[in-house]
């Protein structure tokens, strides 16, 4: 008699993931496209039962986030499926930037090297596997820019239709990158928070039937992709946690999952249990979490974003309260820098380390410099700063150009006073 494999397959589709669990009340749900608790409306996240995971298993895995598949809600054969295989980006030892800032030990985790040039490929890769399992046919998202490109590319490779939503007025490079993969790109007359609200309505409507919104109804899966930043940093530091890390905040998801990733590594005995401090970074023109931190309150008051750091321009960040908790618990803080400091920090990072960051990397580097100047970062402790996107996507933010234009002759060159 034929035995149907329905049950074991669906279990293994999420690897070690066993349930969705409410961050607020702990109620558990099956692994479905559900994102909010039915009882308290708290956000849901993936809960696991990990097997034995060794450093050697991980080190012998693929050169992508899939080397950590035994810690992620994905099937064991995920590396063979059509996906973008992001991750394993460089951890640059930043001695020249460290010297300039006056600190001892600094690394830049440079995530601009992902397939669509931002950290978003990590989160999308996990959401796509969930979308495949749930039988969605269209991938969608509300995006501040980078997510739209990551979803477009991943959909193209995995054979999904895509339709992404962005606020009108994004950087040209981000719009082109979202559109070139052949999916639909819809600009909405409003800011990101309007776009997000619109997407929530679409999910409940027949028009959105069969659609997986990577950062809305697939959010619990999407969020887990950010843990891979924590895993990689620890592995690249020789299986040690950093002592301090500066992380950008848009919705706050990435920051909370980096913390989750570090804690898992400790629980699994893959790294030594040492204290680490997490610092959140926002642009002054969109700093609702930093403002709550400054005031010492745990309620995030939404703002209307006005900053060149458009990738971080979320005025009502869903994970803001959890970011505050983590900054508090780890002895970090949440800081902000203005647009001029962001531009200055982009140039500083480029000039000292050869890393050309998008505005979000200017935010983290600017906040790092501010923390050092104000004596709130231990200059002796091993520190990591994240660059989550590529400067080529926000070219208009910097005013760099040719030093001189000359005729093709030696005399013209010497006359120009360049040597």
Ligand X SMILES: *Cc1c(COP(=O)(O)O)cnc(C)c1O
Near ligand X in 342-361, by CB under 6 A: 358, 360
389 binds, among ligand X, Zn ion, none (CB under 5 to 8 A by kind): ligand X
Q: Are 264 and 295 in contact (CB under 8 A)?
A: no
Asked if 282 is part of the footprint of ligand X (rule: CB under 6 A), the reply reads no
- Report the first-to-last Cα separation within the chain, whole angstroms: 85
Asked if 120 is part of the footprint of ligand X (rule: CB under 6 A), the reply reads yes
Measured from the CB of residue 290, what is the shortest distance to Zn ion in angstroms? 27
40 binds, among ligand X, Zn ion, none (CB under 5 to 8 A by kind): Zn ion
Among 392, 357, 389, 397, residue whose Cα is nearest residue 146: 389
Measured from the CB of residue 380, what is the shortest distance to ligand X in angstroms? 28
CA–CA gap between residue 391 and residue 22 (Å, rounded): 37
Stretches 62-70, 76-84, 115-123, 343-351: which one binds ligand X (CB under 6 A)?
A: 115-123
* Cα–Cα distances in angstroms (integers) from residue 249 to residues 190, 284, 317, 328, in the given order: 21, 12, 8, 15
Burial class, 134, CB count within 10 angstroms (exposed 0-12 / middle 13-18 / buried 19+): middle
CA–CA gap between residue 295 and residue 304 (Å, rounded): 18
CA–CA gap between residue 410 and residue 339 (Å, rounded): 40
Q: How many residues does the chain have?
A: 419
Q: Are 360 and 368 in contact (CB under 8 A)?
A: no
Q: Among 146, 316, 333, 352, which residue sits at the site for ligand X (rule: CB under 6 A)?
A: 146
Contacts of 308 (CB under 8 A, 6+ apart): 283, 285, 339, 342, 343, 359, 394, 397
Q: Are 45 and 220 in contact (CB under 8 A)?
A: yes
Asked if 71 is part of the footprint of ligand X (rule: CB under 6 A), the reply reads no
CA–CA gap between residue 201 and residue 118 (Å, rounded): 27
Measured from the CB of residue 254, what is the shortest distance to Zn ion in angstroms? 22
Of the two residues 236 and 253, which places its CB atom closer to ligand X in the complex?
Answer: 253
Q: Are 381 and 244 in contact (CB under 8 A)?
A: yes
Stretches 14-22, 158-166, 183-191, 213-221: which one binds Zn ion (CB under 5 A)?
A: 14-22
Q: Among 13, 14, 16, 22, which residue sits at the site for Zn ion (rule: CB under 5 A)?
A: 22
Burial class, 228, CB count within 10 angstroms (exposed 0-12 / middle 13-18 / buried 19+): buried
Helices (H) and strands (E) in the chain, counts: 15, 13
Q: Among 9, 10, 28, 40, which residue sits at the site for Zn ion (rule: CB under 5 A)?
A: 40
Near ligand X in 238-277, by CB under 6 A: 248-254
Of the two residues 133 and 388, which places its CB atom closer to ligand X in the complex?
Answer: 388
Q: Are 243 and 383 in contact (CB under 8 A)?
A: yes
Of the two residues 42 and 62, which places its CB atom closer to Zn ion in the complex?
Answer: 42
Of the two residues 78 and 247, which places its CB atom closer to ligand X in the complex?
Answer: 247
Measured from the CB of residue 38, what is the shortest distance to ligand X in angstroms? 24
Of the two residues 37 and 246, which places its CB atom closer to Zn ion in the complex?
Answer: 37
- DSSP secondary structure letters along 46-59: EEE------HHHHH
Measured from the CB of residue 42, what is the shortest distance to Zn ion in angstroms? 4
Q: Which residue is nearest to Zn ion (CB)?
A: 37
SS3 (DSSP) at 280: strand
Asked if 42 is part of the footprint of Zn ion (rule: CB under 5 A), the reply reads yes
Near ligand X in 366-395, by CB under 6 A: 388-389
181 binds, among Zn ion, ligand X, none (CB under 5 to 8 A by kind): none
* Cα–Cα distances in angstroms (integers) from residue 385 to residues 14, 227, 295, 351, 371, in the given order: 31, 16, 25, 16, 12
Of the two residues 42 and 190, which places its CB atom closer to Zn ion in the complex?
Answer: 42
The two three-digit tokens of residue 349, written as one number: 């990072």
Measured from the CB of residue 388, what is the shortest distance to ligand X in angstroms? 3
CA–CA gap between residue 51 and residue 70 (Å, rounded): 8
Measured from the CB of residue 254, what is the shortest distance to ligand X in angstroms? 3
Of the two residues 181 and 322, which places its CB atom closer to ligand X in the complex?
Answer: 322
Asked if 311 is part of the footprint of ligand X (rule: CB under 6 A), the reply reads yes
Of the two residues 18 and 330, which places its CB atom closer to ligand X in the complex?
Answer: 330
253 binds, among Zn ion, ligand X, none (CB under 5 to 8 A by kind): ligand X
Interface positions with ligand X (CB under 6 A): 118-120, 146, 248-254, 311, 358, 360, 388-389
Interface positions with Zn ion (CB under 5 A): 22, 24-25, 27, 37, 39-40, 42
């Amino acid at each position: 008699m034929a035995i149907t494999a329905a049950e074991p397959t669906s279990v293994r589709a999420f690897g070690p993931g066993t349930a969705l669990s409410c961050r607020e009340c702990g109620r558990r749900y099956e692994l479905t496209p559900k994102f909010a608790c039915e009882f308290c409306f708290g956000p849901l996240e993936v809960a696991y039962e990990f097997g034995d995971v060794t450093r050697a298993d991980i080190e012998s895995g693929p050169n992508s986030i899939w080397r950590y598949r035994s810690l992620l809600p994905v099937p064991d054969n995920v590396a063979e499926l059509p996906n973008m295989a992001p991750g394993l980006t460089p951890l640059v030892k930043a001695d020249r930037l460290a010297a300039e800032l006056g600190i001892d030990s600094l690394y830049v985790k440079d995530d601009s090297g992902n397939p669509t040039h931002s950290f978003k490929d990590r989160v999308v890769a996990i959401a796509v596997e969930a979308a495949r399992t749930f039988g969605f046919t269209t991938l969608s998202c509300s995006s501040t820019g980078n997510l739209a490109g990551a979803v477009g590319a991943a959909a193209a490779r995995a054979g999904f239709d895509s339709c992404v939503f962005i606020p009108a007025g994004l950087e040209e490079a981000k719009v082109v990158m979202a559109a070139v993969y052949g999916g639909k790109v819809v600009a909405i007359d409003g800011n990101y928070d309007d776009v997000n609200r619109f997407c929530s309505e679409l999910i409940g409507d027949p028009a959105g039937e069969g659609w997986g919104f990577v950062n809305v109804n697939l959010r619990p899966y999407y969020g887990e992709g950010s843990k891979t930043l924590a895993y990689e940093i620890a592995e690249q530091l020789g299986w040690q946690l950093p002592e301090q890390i500066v992380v950008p905040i848009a919705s706050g998801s990435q920051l909370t999952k980096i913390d989750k990733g570090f804690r898992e590594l400790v629980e699994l005995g893959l790294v030594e249990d040492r204290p680490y401090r997490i610092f959140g970074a926002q642009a002054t023109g969109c700093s609702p979490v930093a403002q709550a931190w400054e005031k010492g309150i745990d309620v995030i008051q939404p703002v209307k974003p006005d900053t060149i750091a458009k990738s971080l321009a979320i005025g009502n960040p869903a994970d803001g309260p959890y970011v505050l908790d983590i900054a508090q618990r780890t002895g970090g803080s949440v800081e902000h820098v203005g647009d001029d400091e962001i531009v200055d920090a982009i140039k500083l990072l480029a000039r000292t380390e050869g890393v050309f960051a998008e505005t979000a990397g200017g935010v983290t580097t600017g906040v790092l410099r501010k923390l050092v100047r104000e004596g709130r970062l231990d200059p002796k402790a091993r520190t990591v700063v994240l660059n989550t996107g590529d400067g080529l996507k926000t070219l208009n933010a910097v005013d760099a150009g040719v030093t001189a234009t000359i005729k093709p002759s030696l005399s013209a060159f010497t006359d120009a006073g360049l040597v």
